[in-house]
Amino acid sequence: MIALMIHGGAWDIPDDLVEAHRQGVARALAIGWEILSKGGSSIDAVEKSINAMEDDPTFDAGRGSFVNSIGEIELDASIMNGSTFRAGAIAAVQNIRYPISLARSIMENSEHILLVGTGAVRFGREHGILQCRDDDLLVGRELERWKELQGKENVSTKDAFRKKRPGDTVGAVALDENGLIVAGTSTGGTPNKYPGRVGDSPLIGCGTYADSTIGGVSCTGWGEAIIKVVLAKTVVDMMEHNGGDPVAAATQAIERLEEKVEGYGGVIVLNREGVPAVFFNTPRMARAYCTSAMASARIEV
């Protein structure tokens, strides 16, 4: 059994952006699926799928990321190997072209899990990770959005997700033929965030979690709320106690997010058998998935 799930954010994706999201998650799925179906590893599938979305300016990850309140782009990302429990993550990092690749390098080459800011950049430089200029990540749409938000009354992040503010974080969960489950998430965070703000995406257990004996999860949505309920690990814990049912776990975890902390967002989940589930309480969520038990891939926005 092999399986791959991709997401490209959960929010009120406007009609005119649906097609770009559909194409973006479909392309990422195709890249990861090619790797898995040729016997490649979940680590490569998750990294390369996410790299494709970090390249695609449609999404808030890598190129196309949101700009913080002082006009900078700060990136968060994480990846976790569900068989070794090793993980790598970066937070509030600038000038990295492919944030998930730096997270992977930390997972594989460091005794640490989470590196932030200039230390993470330094680690990347030492390990051959591609650096870039701010302009390589900044797109006109986000510059305009940033200009518009300056001097305006601050809209809370919660309101941002309830309303039409974008949340185009990307993520992937894969199961390869060796039974390895890997989950990863990459984001530019939230629009106009305070410098140094860190969301759920780079926090193991919050935005990303994998345990090959149970399943893997990547989250998106209002990060401050997701952190409070430790959403990704909550989904995995629920599967551990419900006989491995990913649909029930995804549904109940998002219900908990909403009930306990009025949170909004979505999760993609694979259980250890590669059964996929997705659940969200936002108007839309961009996702794509395929398993060797399915006749064809599903692309949904």
> Which is catalytic among the residues 169, 208, 251, 291?
169
Q: Which of 224, 217, 283, 250 is nearest to 5 (CA)?
A: 217
Pick the stretch among 132-140, 144-152, 187-195, 236-244 that binds ligand ASP (CB under 6 A): 187-195
Reading the block at residue 26, the tokens are 């479909």
Pick the stretch among 38-46, 79-87, 117-125, 161-169 that binds ligand ASP (CB under 6 A): 161-169
Give the nearer residue to ligand ASP in terms of CB position, either 36 or 277: 277
Q: Which residue lies nearest ligand ASP, judged by its C-beta?
A: 223
Query: Shortest approach of ligand ASP to residue 265 CB, angstroms?
Result: 6
Q: Quick check: helix, strand or coil at residue 170?
A: strand
Query: Shortest approach of ligand ASP to residue 223 CB, angstroms?
Result: 2
Pick the stretch among 99-107, 112-120, 122-130, 217-225 that binds ligand ASP (CB under 6 A): 217-225
The answer to whether 58 and 286 have CB atoms below 8 angstroms apart is: no
User: In which element (H, E) is residue 186 found?
Assistant: strand 181-187
58 part of the active site: no
Under rule CB under 6 A, residue 169 binds ligand ASP:
yes
Cα-based distances in Å from 174 to 29, 80, 187: 10, 11, 19
Angle subtended at Cα 69 by Cα 120 and Cα 189, rounded to the nearest 5 degrees: 50
Query: Shortest approach of ligand ASP to residue 241 CB, angstroms?
Result: 25
Under rule CB under 6 A, residue 218 binds ligand ASP:
no
The site for ligand ASP, by CB under 6 A, has a size of 14
Taking CB under 6 A as the criterion, the residue among 24, 32, 167, 216 binding ligand ASP is 167
**Which residues 6+ apart lie within 8 Å of 289 measured at CB?**
3, 4, 5, 6, 29, 268, 276, 278, 297, 298
Angle subtended at Cα 158 by Cα 155 and Cα 164, rounded to the nearest 5 degrees: 70
Give the nearer residue to ligand ASP in terms of CB position, either 40 or 188: 188
- The whole-angstrom distance between residue 184's C-alpha and the CA centroid of its chain comes to 6
Under rule CB under 6 A, residue 201 binds ligand ASP:
yes
**Which residues 6+ apart lie within 8 Å of 75 measured at CB?**
61, 62, 65, 90, 92, 93, 94, 96, 99, 137, 186, 187, 188, 189
Under rule CB under 6 A, residue 8 binds ligand ASP:
no
Pick the stretch among 106-114, 125-133, 220-228, 291-299 that binds ligand ASP (CB under 6 A): 220-228
Residue ranges binding ligand ASP (CB under 6 A): 9, 60, 167-169, 187, 189-190, 199-201, 220-221, 223
Active-site annotation, residues: 169
